[in-house]
Structure 1
Amino acid sequence: MTQAQAGILAPVPAQARYVFFSLGACSPDELRSALSHLQAHVDGQNVVAGLGPQLVDHLRSRIPLLREFPQLKGPQFEAPSTPAALCLWLRGNERGELIARTSELSHLLAPALQINHVVDTFVHQRGQNDHGRDLTGYEDGTENPENGEAIACAITQGQSAGLDGSSFWALQQWQHDFSAFSKLSSQAKDHAIGRRLSDNEELDDAPESAHVKRTAQESFEPEAFVLRRSMPWWQVSPQSRDQSGLMFSAFGCSFDAFEAQMRRMLGMDDGISDALFGFSKPLTGSYFWCPPVKQGKLDLSLLHIPS
């Protein structure tokens, strides 16, 4: 039986790590060997794996709909493209277990794949609906599709063996400027998001630049639904200053819905930039293919790697 990696559809964990890998100096056969080792250690629940286009290209293979994150630029702001060969989303309840798992997996994949970036994330103020909050205090994931609708928008179905059960994953690390955010009035903050902080109600009188209006999934043609699994991140800079923001994570049955939303946020269609850019900016942008799971292991048959 083929199915999606379970962590994609599950609620976000208490603690997580996004571990990004680059390609080492390896042959396609050496890379396939490393991925074969990875198969036995990725259950799709505690570790979700996403393979980047450059990894697939190195294996001289092709995954339909997989492409690199585009460099998108609007009238005022832009979304950078920072490709990676592989991303492992490590999910758990304790930071220590994630650190240990990172070490184990990095040794397993070396030297074919090498860590080049790690982002530690966590849940902030999880509510009864299982949604957490962004560090600005606003609830994240309010309009997420659920149950069958989540599967329909995030998981590929009815295509072919090896592709069905997979997902296309967009990742962006957004850094918040809390100095700029704190200078906004309560009303200005609510209008930037498009919801009231106090009760999470959508504002009828929010401006067209409000984030909720820019990304209203049902307002696109065709509708642009994605399954968000974003989490706040935090780290200390070399200058001993706090740096933090949101690791934006969206799963879809293609990248089209995410890309449509990102283009509108940047004002590429109508010249109106998302108010979010007034206090936050994307530092990274990358696309990955999350293979399905077959008999408890990653199904990498499209890469000519047997289970």
Structure 2
Amino acid sequence: MSQQHQAVQASLTKSATFLVLTINPSSPSATKTVRSVLASVADLAKNVSLRDLNSHFSCAVGIGSDAWDALTAGTGLHRPAELRPFRPISGARHTAVATPGDLLFHIRADRRDICFEFERQLLCKLGDAAAVVDDTQGFRYFDARDLLGFVDGTANPVGPDVPDAVLIADEDAPCAGGSYVVVQKYVHDMAGWGRLSTEAQEAIIGRTKLDNMELDDRPDGHQQAHKTLATIEDEHGNEHGILRDNMPFGSPGSGVFGTYFIGYSRRLWVIEKMLERMFVGHPPGKHDRILDFSTALTGTTFYAPPASVLDRLGED
């Protein structure tokens, strides 16, 4: 957290907590409390990570559109150019819903207890200033696979390509070093998915299941695979990536099996276009067939500012 940007590029961990909160509008001191807590996240992270320096602990903080205006009032901080609430997307068969969320804490570590302890201390500090909207615990599943059985995150940028895909730069200089974040919580119809042949599943995903080899795109006009619909190019043919750190979650005993999608991007429109292609289809009407087995329960957009911005929120 001492770096200029937050830990949005942290390495894959074995455990994660996705915590979404709303600021309590009935508490007169809520905004002040939240600002103070956000400014102290780095200290709290240090306090918890010292329990095990090898746990690869990190926490990235996102702030929603309405909350940004409230928390930064009087600070002189610039509003990110693309920051806006999540836009619902209604296709012919499936809908990407928008759900409330003022704050996002993306908590990661190789130990579940480290994530647990950070969340406990964080919520203790916030008190009644904020309410939990969603609290999802994710886990790394075998060799980075989702519960549908496929390797997830293959298209992520690596090495020097990561900052260019994830961190805002000169196009919005006052917000350089920040990142847009979109989260969605999907639950899967595992019984329906399991009735498909492996070949049918591979055609939907666009990769082989066993060895994660990419399959050829279908001709234009055909129903495209998930990996094709999630590949975004601008009007000049330049491809724009995002950084995913999706995690499986669920409870076999409760019959819940899901994937928590979290995408970091330098450009919010890239994720929005990806979701439009998935839910509406490209061409329209030919939606991403993974949605026939995966239902989005949430959808929220945040801005993860540089760590120095969080520090400034604590100034009177």
- Shorter chain as normaliser: what TM range? 0.7 to 0.9
Deviations along 1:242-284, whole A, 9 cap, x unmatched?
Answer: 2021111110112100011111111355221101012111111
RMSD of equivalent CA atoms:
2.4
Matched, 1:299 2:300: no
SS at match of 1:256: helix
Whole-Å Cα distance in 1 between the matches of residues 267 and 111 of structure 2? 32
The ranges of structure 1 where at least 4 consecutive aligned residues each deviate by more than 4 angstroms after the TM superposition are 159-162, 218-222
1:277 maps to: 291
Indicate which of 286, 304, 308 corresponds to 1:290.
304
**Corresponding position: 1:226 with 2:242:** yes
Q: Which stretches in structure 2 are left out of the alignment for 5+ residues? A: 47-56, 74-78
Q: Distance in 2 between matches of 1:209 and 1:161?
A: 37
Identity level (%): 26
In structure 2, the residue matched to 1:217 is 232
Distance 1:103-1:299 versus aligned 2 partners, 3 A rule: closer
Q: Matches of 1:290 and 1:102 in 2, distance apart?
A: 18
Aligned partner (choices 52, 63, 72) of residue 89 of structure 2 = 72
Residues 85-131 of structure 1 show CA distances to partners (whole Å, capped at 9, x for unaligned) of 101111112222222221210111122212232000011113xxxxx
Q: TM-score, normalised by structure 2?
A: 0.84
Query: What is the DSSP-based 3-state SS (H/G/I as helix, E as strand, rest coil) of the residue aligned with 2:160?
Result: helix
| In structure 2, C-alpha distance between the alignment counterparts of 1:162 and 1:101, rounded to whole Å | 30
CA distance in 2, matches of 1:269, 1:183: 26
Normalized per residue, which structure has more helix? Answer: 2
* 1:231–1:246 Cα contact (<8 Å) kept: yes
C-alpha separation in 2, matches of 1:78 and 1:217: 20
Deviation track 1:270-306 (CA, whole Å, cap 9, x = no partner) reads: 2211010121111110001101023xxx5354xx653
Alignment partners' CA distance in 2, 1:219 and 1:235: 40
- AA aligned to 1:288 is F
Q: Which residue of 2 aligns with 1:254?
A: 267
CA contact (8 A) 1:38 1:105 kept: no
Q: CA–CA distance in 2 between the matches of 1:205 and 1:263?
A: 19
With normalisation by structure 1, the TM-score equals 0.87
Shift, 1:159, TM fit: 5.3
| Partner Cα distance (1:306, 1:148) in 2 | 34
Q: Which residue of 1 aligns with 2:139?
A: 122
Within 1, Cα distance between the matches of 2:96 and 2:208?
27
Shift of 1:51: 0.7
- The residue number in structure 2 matching 1:88 is 105
Q: 1:60 to 1:299 in 2, by over 3 A?
A: closer
CA distance in 2: counterparts of 1:159 and 1:215, whole angstroms: 24
Corresponding pairs, count: 292
Name the CA shift for 1:205/1:103 in 2 (closer, same or farther; >3 Å).
closer
